[in-house]
Amino acid sequence: MANHHSAKVRIRRAERRTAINGDRLGRVRTHVKMVESAIASGDKSAAEVALRAAQPELQRGAQKGVLHANTASRKISRLSARIKAMA
């Protein structure tokens, strides 16, 4: 257990940041699932709309440090490739 005042402050701050980062990651996952479900249903226009909504969330997650930048880019690239491949 922390004995110093500064260590206690850091523990509280870490708990707040963990909660915020968890929320951010949850938003990213939700948007990605929305794109994947639209792809699975076969609706190309809905998938494109969902991807346009998911792309800023992925980029924001990378900017805030929740995701690695290359991970966000890879996810966007793979989702857009799957949408492009839809007939």
Give how far the C-alpha of residue 45 lies from the chain's centroid of Cα atoms, to the nearest Å: 21
Query: Which pLDDT score, from 0 to 100, does residue 66 have?
Result: 96
Q: Is the pLDDT of residue 1 over 90?
A: no
Q: Where are the domains of the chain?
A: 24-84
pLDDT in tens, 11-64: 999 999 999 999 999 999 999 999 999 999 999 999 999 999 999 999 999 999
